[in-house]
Amino acid sequence: EDKVVQSPLSLVVHEGDTVTLNCSYEVTNFRSLLWYKQEKKAPTFLFMLTSSGIEKKSGRLSSILDKKELFSILNITATQTGDSAIYLCAVEGVTSYDKVIFGPGTSLSVIP
Amino acid sequence: DVKVTQSSRYLVKRTGEKVFLECVQDMDHENMFWYRQDPGLGLRLIYFSYDVKMKEKGDIPEGYSVSREKKERFSLILESASTNQTSMYLCASSVLRDTQYFGPGTRLTVL
């Protein structure tokens, strides 16, 4: 059965800390892994990862995929209170349709 | 920018009522999706559509139906709302095999 597992489920850190969020998956015919940030409303897209070992960066956020071990990490350096959100990991499999399987999310709280 | 809109941000309905949730996208995307989001369960796919008048069941279709009469509009229907359908409902759209873009969500409460 296809599934996505995220850890930790919740995390509280102080501003300036560095955090690492984990995502592991099992999916038939893997196509890509996606990271989303969700604040008060809908998820917003962060990264799409398709190849192992290639780090994607956007400001203080970075992510990398390991297709052999079936996991990805999302790093946030020098955290700010505005980073407080739920971070969702999702995986796409190659099927006849674009089915995406989401993990439960990691709730990150950054306190001053 | 891709824009996905949903008809209501907050909705309160009574058990047994018929509920319509509307989603509209303005980027001519082929694919549209309906998810529900519950604490600890993440996003779960209810139904999706890859073309006008085409629909496919997702992981949790029971108690729901959908309609896609026009490419830009995808409706989720709760034929007879129940309290266990209280949830956040998210609509998304995508070009074939590309990133999904989400609407703002509808928080539905069924009393």
User: Is the pLDDT confidence value at B6 over 80?
Assistant: yes
> Residue B90: closest CA among chain A residues belongs to which residue?
A42
pLDDT at B100: 82
pLDDT-based confidence at residue B97 (cuts at 50, 70, 90): low
Chain A interface includes B38 (CB < 8 A): no
Which chain A residues have a beta carbon less than 8 Å from that of B74? Answer: none
Are B97 and A31 an interchain contact pair (Cβ–Cβ within 8 Å)?
A: yes
Q: Are B98 and B13 in contact (CB under 8 A)?
A: no
User: Is the pLDDT confidence value at A96 over 60?
Assistant: no
CA angle B86, B89, B91 (to 5 degrees): 165
Q: Are A50 and A66 in contact (CB under 8 A)?
A: no
Mutate to test the interface with B, among A50, A92, A97 (most CBs of B within 10 A): A97
Are A102 and B96 an interchain contact pair (Cβ–Cβ within 8 Å)?
A: no
Which chain B residues have a beta carbon less than 8 Å from that of A98? Answer: 31, 48, 50, 94, 96-97, 100
**B10 vs A104: CA distance, rounded Å:** 23
| Digit-coded pLDDT (tens) for A5-39 | 999 999 999 999 999 999 999 988 888 899 999 88
Are A88 and B43 an interchain contact pair (Cβ–Cβ within 8 Å)?
A: yes
pLDDT at A97: 56
The SS3 assignment for A7 reads strand
Q: Are A58 and A47 in contact (CB under 8 A)?
A: yes
| Digit-coded pLDDT (tens) for B11-54 | 999 999 999 999 999 989 888 999 998 877 778 889 999 889 88
User: Is the pLDDT confidence value at A101 over 60?
Assistant: yes
Chain A interface includes B88 (CB < 8 A): no
| Digit-coded pLDDT (tens) for B98-107 | 678 889 899 9
Number of H helices, E strands in chain A: 0, 11
The SS3 assignment for A8 reads coil
Q: Which of B27, B67, B33 is nearest to B50 (CA)?
A: B33
Which chain A residues have a beta carbon less than 8 Å from that of B33? Answer: 100
pLDDT at A42: 75
User: Is the pLDDT confidence value at A94 over 80?
Assistant: no
pLDDT at B89: 95
